[in-house]
Amino acid sequence: MNSIINSLSVFGLGLIGGSFALAIKNKFPEIKVYGVDQNLEHARKALELNIIDEIKSADDNEVLQSDLIILAIPVSAIHDILPQLLSDVSEKTVIIDAGSTKGSICQNISKHPNREQFVAAHPIAGTEYSGPEAAFPKLFEDKKNIICEFDLSSEKAQKYANWFFETVGMNNIFMDAEDHDKHLAYVSHLSHISSFMLGLTVLNIEKDEENILNLAGSGFASTVRLAKSSPDMWAPIFQQNKSHLSKALDEYILQLQVFKENLEEGNSEELKAIMLKANQIRKVLS
Amino acid sequence: MNSIINSLSVFGLGLIGGSFALAIKNKFPEIKVYGVDQNLEHARKALELNIIDEIKSADDNEVLQSDLIILAIPVSAIHDILPQLLSDVSEKTVIIDAGSTKGSICQNISKHPNREQFVAAHPIAGTEYSGPEAAFPKLFEDKKNIICEFDLSSEKAQKYANWFFETVGMNNIFMDAEDHDKHLAYVSHLSHISSFMLGLTVLNIEKDEENILNLAGSGFASTVRLAKSSPDMWAPIFQQNKSHLSKALDEYILQLQVFKENLEEGNSEELKAIMLKANQIRKVLS
């Protein structure tokens, strides 16, 4: 596979943006990679780690003239800067976002005259770590990438997106933006909140952290892993997906309340039946 | 280290009992290992896999004369059979349980004339899998084992327990039985329920399981891992720890409700502050 671009600008040099830059530079060292980050420490670190070739500001001419711009910044920032960025970039530039919500971002630029230069994507990849030091080039390998409203992107933008996600090793799935947000509320956003709140509940009771360290097994570590995730990244995701997520939380809380009632009433058979249903997750996730 | 026992009877040939048998046989092949399991299929499988040397019934004379008996059966069964077993075993026999609750098991035999032949233990080890096929000898290596009310066990029973847990590679921690149950409600039992209910909530909404498979990342898989656990093992644990667990569930549900209210009111800064607190789990679990 050949490179079809000469220049790439990455907005946001954390885990996702940094890993994209590394994956592209690994395969195509000839591509010029510009890095944009409000956090100057992150930008300098990314340069030091050879994740990017140059630090640039968002309104730099070479950034606005890039063949491809990747937005790997919090979804609130994507939402806010995308309309102006679509107006400012050159005609040849394609912009792809990597935000974990898609509905409000797509809605916000649906009538933009340059809408077709944009591809709405959500690479399903990540770890609980953040920042440029957490980036690694194989993060996306064999992972799924969701693309929404692909028919609203130009042929050229589609071609760039296909090339980009293939280069980093991802498999594309195509969905409606609202459907995406609804499903992700359940399979991703809810599990982050369940983990954050589990961590908080345990920390509140176990003032002596030694107890957690001594008594927690690998099961607790696994369940609470996502509680290490970045608040700055996740608060905007939760806000942008508020209506679906609020419903998902209602359903989760209801299940917990039903379980608690059965526990208090000593309905062991009902508890077992509930857990047996939950066991079906085995069929999906081995 | 030499073997200090000649015979071992393991009640319950699942993940925990099977792994104990394998760990002991690995180090001391000369020890005769008897297996007791109500599930005859499990017993036969354990024999076939060389996890045990012979299948026995619980009232078999050689079992009751064993140097050491390990109870790796559901906590409800430990609770129910332990008083009679303590009456039936030979004077030289030491019994160690591996139940995930300790309060009611200890309470139930506190006045038994042979109380000192018993050691109340909780090895903090396991996976989400169950049955003899899930057993492996290194399950316990470098893991913590909690022993409760050790001063109520005879010197000989203490010596056997120290030898046994050292042989399988565990480090002992000593606790009060009620304290154990309270802490475990938070760092283990609650995380199992949060995971079971997460799995259930997602399965309820995602009737098309393909969606879960396609859209779930490693984060969801990690958070929902414990939802694969055995209902037969966990229902009795939850029941025996009902009062602590019910309180833990109340606190967890409250945290979720507070989070949801802040979400619905658009208090992003408060959401971030809550998540930042939960992030402190990093200090404990790297």
Q: Give per-residue pLDDT as tens, B240-253.
A: 999 999 999 999 99
Give SS3 for A161. Answer: helix
Residue appearing with tokens 């399965």: B203
What pLDDT score was predicted for residue A2? 82
Q: Mean per-residue pLDDT for A96-116?
A: 98
Q: Mean per-residue pLDDT for A87-92?
A: 98
Per residue, the 3-state secondary structure of A183-211, as one string, reads HHHHHHHHHHHHHHHHHHHHHHHCCCHHH
**B55: β partners:** B35
What pLDDT score was predicted for residue A12? 98
Contacts of B190 by beta carbon, 8 Å cutoff, 6+ apart: A198, A201, A202, B245, B248, B249, B252
Q: Got the DSSP string for chain B?
A: -----SEEEEE--SHHHHHHHHHHHHH-TTSEEEEE-S-HHHHHHHHHTTS-SEE--TT-HHHHT-SEEEE-S-HHHHHHHHHHHHHHS-TT-EEEE--S--HHHHHHTTT-TTGGGEEEEEE----S--SGGG--TTTTTT-EEEEESGGGS-HHHHHHHHHHHHHTT-EEEEE-HHHHHHHHIIIIIHHHHHHHHHHHHHHHH--SHHHHHHH--HHHHHHTGGGGS-HHHHHHHHHHTHHHHHHHHHHHHHHHHHHHHHHHTT-HHHHHHHHHHHTTHHHH--
pLDDT at A49 over 80: yes
Residue type for B108, please? N
- The Cα–Cα gap between A258 and B249 comes to 11
CB B203 within 8 A of CB A280: yes
Nearest partner of A62 among A23, A28, A90, judged by Cα: A90
Q: Would the CB atoms of B239 and A266 count as touching at under 8 Å?
A: yes
Q: Mean per-residue pLDDT for A183-189?
A: 95
**B251: β partners:** none
pLDDT at A54 over 90: yes
| Nearest residue, CB atoms, A275 vs list B196, B218, B280 | B196
What pLDDT score was predicted for residue B213? 80
Q: Please name the residue of chain A whose CA is at the shortest distance from the CA of residue B206.
A: A183
Q: Would the CB atoms of A203 and B278 count as touching at under 8 Å?
A: yes
CB A184 within 8 A of CB A101: yes
- The Cα–Cα gap between B186 and B239 comes to 15
Using a CB-CB cut-off of 8 Å, the residues of chain B touching A228 are 279, 281-282
Residue count of chain A: 286
In this structure, what token pair is assigned to residue A41? Answer: 């420490």
Using a CB-CB cut-off of 8 Å, the residues of chain A touching B218 are 126-127
Residue A113's CB is within 10 A of a number of other CB atoms, namely 9
- The Cα–Cα gap between A17 and B261 comes to 32
What pLDDT score was predicted for residue A215? 87
Q: How far apart are the first and last CA of chain A?
A: 33
What pLDDT score was predicted for residue B207? 82
What pLDDT score was predicted for residue B214? 83
Using a CB-CB cut-off of 8 Å, the residues of chain A touching B183 are 206, 211, 215
Using a CB-CB cut-off of 8 Å, the residues of chain B touching A215 are 124, 144, 146, 173, 183-184, 187-188
Q: Would the CB atoms of A255 and B200 count as touching at under 8 Å?
A: yes
The β-bridge relationship of strands A118-123 and A144-148 is antiparallel
What pLDDT score was predicted for residue A175? 95
What pLDDT score was predicted for residue A127? 87
Q: Which of A196, A261, A276 to mutate: most B Cβ within 10 Å?
A: A196
- The Cα–Cα gap between B42 and A272 comes to 20
CA of A245 vs chain B CAs: smallest distance (Å) = 9
Q: Which domains does chain A have, with CATH numbers?
A: 7-175 (3.40.50.720), 180-284 (1.10.3660.10)
What pLDDT score was predicted for residue B128? 84
Sign of CA dihedral A34, A39, A40, A45: negative
- B258 phi and psi angles, rounded to 5 deg: -60, -45
Q: Mean per-residue pLDDT for A94-116?
A: 98
- Residue A204's pLDDT band (cuts 50, 70, 90): very high
Residue B141's CB is within 10 A of a number of other CB atoms, namely 11
What pLDDT score was predicted for residue A218? 87
Q: What DSSP state is assigned to residue A46? A: H
Nearest partner of A94 among A25, A176, A7, A205, judged by Cα: A7
Packing angle, helices B190-205 and A268-278, rounded to 10: 60
Using a CB-CB cut-off of 8 Å, the residues of chain B touching A213 are 284-285
| Nearest residue, CB atoms, A220 vs list B187, B197, B268 | B187
Q: Would the CB atoms of A279 and B227 count as touching at under 8 Å?
A: yes
- The Cα–Cα gap between A149 and A103 comes to 10
pLDDT at A286 over 80: no
CA of A179 vs chain B CAs: smallest distance (Å) = 11
What pLDDT score was predicted for residue B215? 87
What pLDDT score was predicted for residue B285? 82
pLDDT digits (tens, 9 = 90+) for A205-254: 988 778 888 888 889 999 999 999 999 999 999 999 999 999 999 999 99
* Parts of chain B with a pLDDT under 50: none
pLDDT digits (tens, 9 = 90+) for B219-265: 899 999 999 999 999 999 999 999 999 999 999 999 999 999 999 99
